Amino acid sequence: MYSKEIQAILDKEKIRPGDIIKITTPEQTFEGILIPRPEKSSTTIILKQDSGYNLGINWQKTEKIEKISQGKELEIFPSIDIKPRKDLPEVSLIATGGTISSRISYETGGVKWLMEPGQLLSIAPELEKIINLKKIEKPFLIASENMSATHWQKLAESAKNLLNSGSAGVIITHGTDTLHYTAAALSFMLKNLSKPVVLTYSQKSTDRPSTDTVLNLTCAAYAAGHSDIAEVMLCGHAESQDTYCLINRGTKVRKMHTSVRHTFRPINDLPLAKVYPSGKIDIINENHKKRTDKKVEADTKFEEKTALIKYYPGANPDIINYFVKKGYKGIVIEATGLGHMATDESKYNWLPTLKDAIASGLTICAAAQTIYGRLNPIVYGEGRKLHDIGVIHLEDMLPETAYVKLGWILGHTKDQKRAKQMMLTNYAGELTKKTDTRTFLY
Amino acid sequence: MYSKEIQAILDKEKIRPGDIIKITTPEQTFEGILIPRPEKSSTTIILKQDSGYNLGINWQKTEKIEKISQGKELEIFPSIDIKPRKDLPEVSLIATGGTISSRISYETGGVKWLMEPGQLLSIAPELEKIINLKKIEKPFLIASENMSATHWQKLAESAKNLLNSGSAGVIITHGTDTLHYTAAALSFMLKNLSKPVVLTYSQKSTDRPSTDTVLNLTCAAYAAGHSDIAEVMLCGHAESQDTYCLINRGTKVRKMHTSVRHTFRPINDLPLAKVYPSGKIDIINENHKKRTDKKVEADTKFEEKTALIKYYPGANPDIINYFVKKGYKGIVIEATGLGHMATDESKYNWLPTLKDAIASGLTICAAAQTIYGRLNPIVYGEGRKLHDIGVIHLEDMLPETAYVKLGWILGHTKDQKRAKQMMLTNYAGELTKKTDTRTFLY
């Protein structure tokens, strides 16, 4: 709620939250959508700018506040009728929250969720010509930073059920923050996957003219309904412009930028395909699983006592003892270079602590904190020492994928030998034999 | 030591470690340098291949072992005479170990270190025409994964002394694993820096035909002796080929690939300059500090009770309590997206634990685990909650740089307010106001 002084000016100008207004200060003028304040008597006026970011202006510095246009944003996700298109592939959608399926209510400042297929079609009417969108499931609606393994398990169950009851593919809309962790989790949890499961997102909210929602949903619909790729994939902008999308393998993709639309990049593997808004799908990586008639299974066991930590100069190895005491079963360490951490005769020597942890039953893995590239612990003596005490160097597996995989593996076995063997077995494209040099900074 | 059986064959063929040999198996033939084994009675023959990696071949699978040529590698770093070149800028070098200043002794399997300026010139004779190389200091010789703040402090002292006693610039050779952490540390520790401090490295060891040492050293010499950039910089291959080098700002650079030569990439900032082996220096970022006559100071206080951790789905906030109990003064958390972690009403909610940690005196910061981009905690409600309890969102600062900076700041003050203010003050280019869009995946 704005302060009395501000409210008086707004009332005089007949301005309500949601309206586009112009504020003049001695230095500058600002345009944007007036956002309501949940706090009491706020003296800062908040404008949502076209960049998507909010701007706070101290009302005492304003010279003039004018209304530019009435807010149209107050109607949240109008729904339109869906005409069943039996000639198009039947695709289902699972909405989980995130920027892509939310819209800020300018009346309350709260988030409204996209709930019905008809609402989705009002955002991207193109979808009606691409797929027969039958159902939107909402197992939960949360920001993706609040997700954990329980949510991955629910998603795997939903996707399995939809695929086994007639859907030709599934689209999952999801917040961007932890989308690549979810993509990796579903890659391991969905067994005998025989149809496309396509995760997509939005970096710029759906109510903004610059939103990336429409292109991402359009390409995801082509990938889910029309592609032959029976894998868990992440589909989104290839470039900053609305040109085309990349489909990346769920285990070989990472959010690499806080805010740009083409934030999800392939890591240590080429994208599976390019998808154009015209529907054209250019396969890049021929080495992918194809559609079959197999029944999909959800194999979702996950050991929550799994950790991901990062090594850095001066890192005290005692942190490992903490995890041992707390009953953890496995740890992925983001190691430096080819898979290293301090192993010399200093107080930071990680060798004795790691040796004890492994002896007490933990599975300890190393992944590359450089993100790109492949570990090779036997090039230098230091890495060899870690290898010799039983640290499992995970080749070219992403640290985030490695964490998810380790939790999934430890959900199935606590036997160290078996866990090691499974960590070094390729289940869903997470390990490659040779890395194409074009993949660096793709 | 090889097993009796292998040694008999080697003796018969007059093969000694260091010789180039050819091994024929039923499937393939392999060529490489025979590496001695430190273990007793090894039955695996180790070849160092031209790729630089070692290959193990079970001797029982060998059909033939032949000598191709006598090893020349046994002479470790021959030294050549230096003729003082008073007409060239006087530059000093600090060797710290790492691939660039080491060479494997094929007799012992151990590492031999580059010790004298004359040895460096035998590797890169070009240097003699670029700089007057006066002195090589060796404060310590270790692999860079074994470094910590004590080493950074010694380096800062060495660099300061050399610069204040006549050197026009300093080159530091260093292992790649933690080179970017050292670059950041020196950026903060060297105050009133009035001359170039250039860190360089090698990804492919100096005794290999494919080594990157020569180009990196050549460009580093031009940067240290001839450039006007009075900053801490990291100089190395711009591309996979031996074309030219990039000079990146010490606080805005990161090792991004485990093995390629152009592994160090600029993050959230353009490189300072391109340096060609001809000596041409193309300035890209005009906004850099220029040479002056100021006396350099080393301000090296560092709080070792500083941690860097990574948030991930399912991460238990209790890890924060561990650091509090252990007396830590500050933590940098690699947060998701625009600066988030779980803040909902689940068992993984980080808010209460972070609030308590901040109340008990810790300085808690967030940096972007996406690596590229800028945090903005006020776009979404979730980030705002973290901001409101006092988590310091570090804009576009790299997590690694943030860890180093936090340790350095907490070495100077334990006052939370002052520490926050210092963390958000730009000292060495670690914070920029606006990020050039060309920097993403540069």
Interface test with B, best of A145, A188, A203 (most B CBs within 10 A): A145
The closest of B351, B367, B362, B366 to B317, measured between CA atoms, is B351
pLDDT in tens, A365-377: 999 999 999 999 8
Give the one of B254, B309, B379 whose C-beta lies nearest to A53's C-beta.
Answer: B379
Structure token pair of residue B183? 């670059």
Lookup result for tokens 């580093």: B220
Instruction: Tell me the residue type at A147.
Output: M
**A and B: number of Cβ contacts within 8 A:** 200
Rounded distance between C-alpha atoms, residue A60 and residue A98, angstroms: 35
Q: Do A54 and B379 touch (CB under 8 A)?
A: yes
Query: B269 near B275, Cβ under 8 Å?
Result: no
Rounded distance between C-alpha atoms, residue A64 and residue A41, angstroms: 20
pLDDT of residue B342: 96
| A440 neighbourhood in chain B, CB within 8 Å | 256-257, 260
**Statement: B4-69 belongs to CATH 2.30.30.520:** yes
Q: Homologous superfamily of A90-298 in CATH? A: L-asparaginase, N-terminal domain (3.40.50.1170)
State the smallest CA–CA distance between residue A64 and chain B in angstroms: 25
| pLDDT band at residue A434 using 50, 70 and 90 as cut-offs | very high
pLDDT at residue B59 tops 60:
yes
pLDDT in tens, A48-101: 777 666 788 888 888 889 998 887 544 555 666 777 888 999 999 999 988 887
| Torsion from C-alpha of A186, A189, A191, A193, nearest 10 degrees | -10
The alpha carbon dihedral of B327, B331, B336, B338 has a sign of positive
Rounded distance between C-alpha atoms, residue A281 and residue B259, angstroms: 33
Give the one of A257, A311, A376 whose C-beta lies nearest to B53's C-beta.
Answer: A376
Query: A21 near A70, Cβ under 8 Å?
Result: no
Closest chain B residue to the Cα of A344, Cα to Cα: B146
pLDDT of residue B50: 75
Buried b (16+ CB within 10 A) or exposed e, A69-91: eebebeebbeeeebeeeeebbbb
| B46 neighbourhood in chain A, CB within 8 Å | none
| B258 neighbourhood in chain A, CB within 8 Å | 337-339, 368, 370, 372-376
| A307 neighbourhood in chain B, CB within 8 Å | 315
Rounded distance between C-alpha atoms, residue B302 and residue A270, angstroms: 42
Mean pLDDT lowest for which of A203-212, A318-327, B21-30, B312-321? A203-212
Kindly tell me the burial class for residue B25, based on how many C-beta atoms sit within 10 Å of its own C-beta (0-12, 13-18, 19 or more): middle
pLDDT of residue A73: 46
Mean pLDDT lowest for which of A344-353, A354-363, B44-53, B284-293? B44-53
Rounded distance between C-alpha atoms, residue A409 and residue A431, angstroms: 15
State the smallest CA–CA distance between residue B388 and chain A in angstroms: 13
Q: Do B307 and A322 touch (CB under 8 A)?
A: no
| A111 neighbourhood in chain B, CB within 8 Å | 381
Rounded distance between C-alpha atoms, residue A57 and residue A59, angstroms: 6
| A379 neighbourhood in chain B, CB within 8 Å | 52-54
Chain mean pLDDT for chain B: 91
| B321 neighbourhood in chain A, CB within 8 Å | none
Q: Which residues of B are catalytic?
A: 99, 176-177, 255
Give the one of B148, B334, B342 whose C-beta lies nearest to A145's C-beta.
Answer: B342
| pLDDT band at residue A102 using 50, 70 and 90 as cut-offs | confident
Mean pLDDT lowest for which of B13-17, B32-36, B92-96, B167-171? B32-36
Average pLDDT estimate for A110-120:
67
**A133: part of which helix (H) or strand (E)?**
strand A132-137
Q: Do A144 and B334 touch (CB under 8 A)?
A: no
| pLDDT band at residue B378 using 50, 70 and 90 as cut-offs | confident
Query: Under CATH, which number does the domain B306-423 receive?
Result: 3.40.50.40
Kindly tell me the burial class for residue A414, based on how many C-beta atoms sit within 10 Å of its own C-beta (0-12, 13-18, 19 or more): middle
Rounded distance between C-alpha atoms, residue B392 and residue A145, angstroms: 18
Give the one of A177, A382, A440 whose C-beta lies nearest to B257's C-beta.
Answer: A440
Give the one of A314, A336, A403 whose C-beta lies nearest to B148's C-beta.
Answer: A314
pLDDT at residue B282 tops 90:
yes
Q: Do B258 and A148 touch (CB under 8 A)?
A: no
Q: Do A379 and B111 touch (CB under 8 A)?
A: no
| A400 neighbourhood in chain B, CB within 8 Å | 312
Q: Do B258 and A337 touch (CB under 8 A)?
A: yes
pLDDT of residue B428: 98
Q: Do B255 and A370 touch (CB under 8 A)?
A: yes
pLDDT in tens, B322-355: 999 999 999 999 999 999 999 998 899 999 999 9
Q: Do B379 and A346 touch (CB under 8 A)?
A: no
Closest chain B residue to the Cα of A319, Cα to Cα: B322
Give the one of B52, B258, B370 whose C-beta lies nearest to A257's C-beta.
Answer: B370
Sheet holding B64-69, edge to edge: B54-58, B44-48, B29-35, B20-24, B64-69
Mean pLDDT lowest for which of A245-254, A359-368, B104-113, B316-325? B104-113
pLDDT of residue B98: 84
Chain mean pLDDT for chain A: 91
* The two domains B4-69 and B306-423 share their CATH topology (first three levels equal): no
DSSP A336: B
The closest of A120, A131, A137, A255 to A195, measured between CA atoms, is A131
Check residues A30 and B167 and name the one with the higher pLDDT: B167
Average pLDDT estimate for A261-265:
98
Q: Do A407 and B314 touch (CB under 8 A)?
A: yes
SS3 A252: coil
Average pLDDT estimate for B158-169:
97
pLDDT at residue A39 tops 60:
no
Give the one of B240, B313, B440 whose C-beta lies nearest to A148's C-beta.
Answer: B313
Structure token pair of residue B179? 């080179």
State the smallest CA–CA distance between residue A299 and chain B in angstroms: 18
Average pLDDT estimate for A410-426:
98
Instruction: Tell me the residue type at A291.
Output: R
Average pLDDT estimate for B307-326:
98
Average pLDDT estimate for A245-271:
98
The closest of A385, A222, A326, A288 to B325, measured between CA atoms, is A326
Question: Where are chain A's structural domains?
Answer: 4-69, 90-298, 306-423
Closest chain A residue to the Cα of B437, Cα to Cα: A260
Q: Do B374 and A53 touch (CB under 8 A)?
A: no
- φ and ψ at B184, to 5 degrees? -65, -45
State the smallest CA–CA distance between residue A379 and chain B in angstroms: 6
Give the one of A309, A344, A368 whose C-beta lies nearest to B146's C-beta.
Answer: A344
Q: Do B263 and A370 touch (CB under 8 A)?
A: yes
| A351 neighbourhood in chain B, CB within 8 Å | none
Highest-scoring range by mean pLDDT, A53-57, A341-345, B31-35: A341-345
Q: Which residues of A are catalytic?
A: 99, 176-177, 255
pLDDT of residue B345: 85
Mean pLDDT lowest for which of A176-180, A373-377, B53-57, B308-312? B53-57
pLDDT of residue B54: 72
State the smallest CA–CA distance between residue A284 and chain B in angstroms: 20
pLDDT of residue B73: 46
Interface test with A, best of B53, B241, B258 (most A CBs within 10 A): B258
State the smallest CA–CA distance between residue A367 and chain B in angstroms: 10
The closest of A378, A380, A379, A373 to A395, measured between CA atoms, is A373
The closest of A401, A399, A403 to A429, measured between CA atoms, is A401
Interface test with A, best of B145, B176, B257 (most A CBs within 10 A): B145
Mean pLDDT lowest for which of A94-103, A315-324, B192-201, B227-236? A94-103
The closest of B331, B404, B322, B371 to B148, measured between CA atoms, is B404
pLDDT of residue A74: 42
Rounded distance between C-alpha atoms, residue B309 and residue A308, angstroms: 9
Structure token pair of residue A410? 């430890």
pLDDT in tens, B99-119: 887 766 555 555 666 666 677
pLDDT in tens, A161-206: 999 999 999 999 999 999 999 999 999 999 999 999 999 999 987 7
Query: B357 near B324, Cβ under 8 Å?
Result: yes
Query: A72 near A106, Cβ under 8 Å?
Result: no
Q: Do A257 and B334 touch (CB under 8 A)?
A: no
The closest of B119, B77, B114 to B97, measured between CA atoms, is B114
- pLDDT above 90: percentage of residues in chain A: 67
| A175 neighbourhood in chain B, CB within 8 Å | 337
Average pLDDT estimate for A203-210:
75
Q: Do B374 and A259 touch (CB under 8 A)?
A: yes
Interface test with A, best of B54, B208, B241, B259 (most A CBs within 10 A): B259
Rounded distance between C-alpha atoms, residue A437 and residue A422, angstroms: 27
Q: Do A308 and B307 touch (CB under 8 A)?
A: no
Q: Do A178 and B338 touch (CB under 8 A)?
A: no
CA Rg, chain B, in Å?
A: 25
pLDDT at residue A111 tops 80:
no
Give the one of A240, A310, A371 whose C-beta lies nearest to B256's C-beta.
Answer: A371
Interface predicted TM-score (ipTM) = 0.85
pTM equals: 0.85
Structure token pair of residue A271? 């994208």
Interface test with B, best of A150, A258, A303, A375 (most B CBs within 10 A): A258
